[in-house]
Structure 1
Amino acid sequence: MSRTGNQLSLLPGAEADPMDTAPTPGAVARAFDAARLTQARHLAGKTKKDVAAAVGVTAAAVGQYESGVTKPRPDLIPRLAEELRVPITFFVSGRPHARLDASGAHFRSLRSARAWQRDRAIAHVKQVWELTLALEKRVQLPPVDLPGFAGGEVHSGVELPRSPVEAARALRVYWRLGTGPIPHLVRHLEARGIVVDAPPANHADREVDAFSIAYLRPIMVLTANRTDDVYRYRFTAAHELGHLVLHGDTAPGDTQHEREADAFAAEFLTPRDSVLPDLPARVDLSRLVELQQVWGVSVDSLLYRCREVGLLSDQAAGRAWRRLAGLRHQPGFVAESVSRYPGEQPVMLRQAFELAATETGLTVPTLAHELGWAVPRVRELLGLTHQRPVLRLVP
């Protein structure tokens, strides 16, 4: 799908609020939002003890601030903001909240991610949701068109099968994707109203591979663990799509769900009946390298597909994977970054902002003020971070 600005239509009467004078610490203390302190702490990856030590109070006091039992003194507001790297306005009440917690998210890595890392990930997706909501006040985003998602704007009456393989086939039919390779997978997801976020490498925790959550809009986060390999990245996106269509009404965290999402992703990206004629009847890694370019999935995934459809025995597949491990740095086998594939990079929120900027004069500082965020944070989530050219002086 081509994602030009005029495909996002402006909602009438959506004007940016004028910038106001920053409130004083005393005013922030009076309007203090306890949940914002928790959110900021989770975003920073800090414990209550960490925050308490930095601002000169007890961990119990921080707990009381977060539970709403008491409010921090005005002189503590700037210290909290500095420690958690947010403006003091971040703590002001009155802005929409996303009521999310880690128990409602499907995490790609079930075992390695620790509780604080999941909390940080959820705090991040809350901000993605808040940014999306702020943009939707001004711009009409693509409607959610995802069977099985209760909050979608498009109600087709289509109900996908519960079988992962059959669901993948049915969704391909519903989205009119045909039976061949799917180019620009992320663009297809955004075109159906799914918010996709790919945080930069310096933001994401390595232990959190990816996750998805359904809250008014489905949101999918593909972390830096995946962006360094476009084929793993695409499979992960399809895996998270599987969670959204198969497991929206069930509690996350089941290893069976992870297997089902993998089965969905394999069939969605490489339909058995379509890919089978392409697969070699014996181990041929050079042929699989060619096919990964065609189908947009890794050689590992194609080897698994060969074993799954009966072309390779478990022993033959095992030997092939061991050979493959020794070829990771050879031409054709080196991982390719998503940065080389524009169609796999999220653009919906950035283009929504650009349209609102053109039509209403919305600016990043105005949006930051409305959200209570620092300007660099807004730019980061919009994908507007710029790399300045480097001046090199030769002596």
Structure 2
Amino acid sequence: MFGERLKRARSAAGLSMKELSLQAGVSANMIKKYEHDESMPSSGVLIKMSRALGVRNEYFFRPTKYELKGIEYRKRSSTPTKMLNRIKADVLDQAERWMELSNLWPNFPVPEFTKLSFSISHIDEYAQIEVIANELRGVWELGSQPIASIIDVLECHGIIVIVTDVDTTEKFDGCQASVGNTPIIVISSKWSGDRQRFTLAHELGHLILHGMLNASLDEEKACNRFAGAFIFPETSVRQALGVSRRNLEVQELYLLKMDFGLSMMATIYRAADLAIINDTKRKELFMFFSMRKWRSQEPGEPYPAETTSLFKQLVFRGLGENIISESKAAELLGMSLVSFHNMRKLVGPDVNFNQ
């Protein structure tokens, strides 16, 4: 168990055995022995390795082991294996802490995710996905207005959202997995908010639409349609853009992006999907964006990134209800006890109100 955790932490930190050995003051061969459970480090070496890897000593001795199942990356073909390993290690560590926290509660105050039944059970054409998205919004009581935080919505319905800080640049497009029966969606903290939101809604589409699509339909395209419909529902699109348009203004698209958190490009897709603009106009607008190099980075201020605070809130709630101890709370948050004390008292340099 120790060796596996050491290897995972080293992968998450992006360090080779040699690089870790230099910081720990031992040979690379000794690091290899640690990872193969052929030897155990002294307390001094353990402290140095913990500091180098950015984990607490307790991380190496967690009693329960969890496994990520059904991992599916939305990745570019150029994504390095080393990066994927770092992401997986980071996700597994965060998911493990989530599950450990839930197991400490007699009745964990987050419901299990359940797949709903809809008026349409088999989807034969993409347009039917609009119905599914609208019905889900209705069941979840979201109405047709902009969703302030998609992360909050998903977490309130039993889907763990993990925001990884691994520097993915442009080579990672999201990930979906599960721990036990709990679905997990992974996004990057480095992305703009509209990209995060679309990925979250796209991965939600995979969970909702699984087993419902006709074999002739492309699942990725279907989930893109679901994402657009979930974030910017048809009634709101038609109210904002009208029934039929000859053109869409860039400033108009930007304002709608800042309202609904859907990218300007994705809004163009929505308008075309709903036949508000024809396919010729859609291609013209895409060409216009390409000429100005706006497809990779849209003009104007980026939509604010989403954050998650539910895990931290539940840690403090558990502490307040004497479900977990102060040292366990610090361990779950990956903090030293001193830093945790400062955070708990809302004083000192360790307090971050934006986390």
TM-score w.r.t. structure 2 length? 0.74
1:141 corresponds to: 109
1:236 corresponds to: 199
What is the aligned counterpart of 1:90 among 51, 56, 59?
59
Identity rate, percent: 24
What is the aligned counterpart of 1:123 among 84, 89, 93?
89
What is the aligned counterpart of 1:171 among 136, 150, 167?
136
**Structural mapping, 1:337-356, within 5 Å:** 337-338=304-305, 344-356=306-318
What is the aligned counterpart of 2:35 among 57, 66, 89?
66
Aligned residue pairs: how many?
Answer: 323
Partner-residue secondary structure (3-state), 1:360: coil
1:282 corresponds to: 246
Q: Which amino acid aligns with 1:230?
A: G
**Structural mapping, 1:12-161, within 5 Å:** 33-48=2-17, 50-51=19-20, 55-58=26-29, 65-68=34-37, 70-72=38-40, 74=42, 77-78=46-47, 80-92=49-61, 94-100=62-68, 104-136=70-102, 137-138=104-105, 140-147=108-115, 161=121
1:336 corresponds to: 303
Structure 1 residues not aligned, in runs of 5+: 1-31, 148-155, 250-254, 339-343, 389-395
On the 8 A contact 1:283/1:312 being kept in 2, the answer is yes
**Structural mapping, 1:199-214, within 5 Å:** 199-200=164-165, 203-206=166-169, 207-214=171-178
TM-score w.r.t. structure 1 length? 0.67
**RMSD, aligned CA:** 3.9
In 2: Cα distance, 1:316 partner to 1:186 partner: 33
State the 1:143 CA deviation.
0.4
On the 8 A contact 2:2/2:60 being kept in 1, the answer is yes
State the 1:284 CA deviation.
2.3
In 2: Cα distance, 1:52 partner to 1:159 partner: 59
On the 8 A contact 1:269/1:295 being kept in 2, the answer is yes
What is the aligned counterpart of 1:366 among 323, 328, 332?
328
In 2: Cα distance, 1:62 partner to 1:282 partner: 65
More relative contact order, 1 or 2 (CA 8 Å, 6+ apart): 1
**Post-superposition, which runs of at least 4 consecutive aligned residues in structure 1 deviate over 6 A?**
156-160
Q: Which amino acid aligns with 1:123?
A: A
Partner-residue secondary structure (3-state), 1:266: helix
Structure 2 residues not aligned, in runs of 5+: none
On the 8 A contact 2:258/2:303 being kept in 1, the answer is no
